[in-house]
Amino acid sequence: MAPNPDIRASDADRDRVAASLREHCAEGRITMDELQERLDAVYGAKTVGQLQEVTSDLPEEDLYQLPVPANQAKGTASPARRPSGDLATQRMPAMWGAWATVSAINLTVWLIILVTSGAVYPWWIWVAGPWGAVLLMRTIFGGRQDDR
């Protein structure tokens, strides 16, 4: 029996729908942009009916069969899921972009200090170097896969 659509949705209900949407995205039914739009709608939903509207065009799943994350059962906030497979590959340019931006800002600050006060230790290398090395290893060998 389907729940009454006017019943208020719980955090666990929203988390179940969000997990379902992530699976649909991983299977290629919705795009990353669509996923973000739908997740915004899910976390803004007040009733079960609003949650059902978000997934009405997707193949039905029994949302109550999806497990609630263990930390949600205890009432704590759920951590972001680590991307796997193609999703991690899609995010790699963003990670490199963040590294390049932060490195450029640090280098610029260092150059300003160098020009205004003379010789300065190149401290920005300690920010750019380890972070860049981790990203390089992740790019070459791939990221950690989720346990499923």
C-alpha torsion angle, residues 142, 68, 45, 54 (rounded to 10): 60
Question: What is the number of structural domains in the chain?
Answer: 2
7 phi and psi angles, rounded to 5 deg: -75, 140
Average pLDDT over residues 13-25: 87
pLDDT of residue 148: 43
Which amino acid type is present at position 12? A
Which amino acid type is present at position 15? D
Kindly give, in sequence order, each residue whose CB lies less than 8 Å from that of residue 63, ignoring residues fewer than 6 positions away: 13, 16, 17, 20
Residue 69 lies in a domain: no
Residue 6 lies in a domain: no
Residue 74 lies in a domain: no
Segment 76-124, tens digit of pLDDT? 544 455 445 555 667 888 888 999 999 999 999 999 999 999 888 999 8
Closest alpha carbon to 95 in 110, 82, 76:
82
How many CB atoms are closer than 10 A to CB 55?
19
The mean pLDDT of the chain is 80
Q: Is residue 54 over pLDDT 80?
A: yes
Average pLDDT over residues 4-14: 87
Pair 45, 28: CB distance under 8 Å: no
- Domain range for residue 121? 94-141
Tokens of 78: 């759920």
Predicted TM-score of the model (pTM): 0.41
User: Binning pLDDT at 50, 70 and 90, where does residue 51 land?
Assistant: confident
Residue 110 lies in a domain: yes
User: Binning pLDDT at 50, 70 and 90, where does residue 1 land?
Assistant: very low
- What is the DSSP code (8-state) at residue 7? S
Residue 19 lies in a domain: yes
Residue 18 lies in a domain: yes
pLDDT of residue 87: 58
Residue 125 lies in a domain: yes
Residue 120 lies in a domain: yes
Half-sphere exposure of 127 (CA within 13 A, CB side): 15
Q: Is residue 61 over pLDDT 80?
A: no
- What is the DSSP code (8-state) at residue 123? T
Closest alpha carbon to 20 in 44, 46, 42:
42
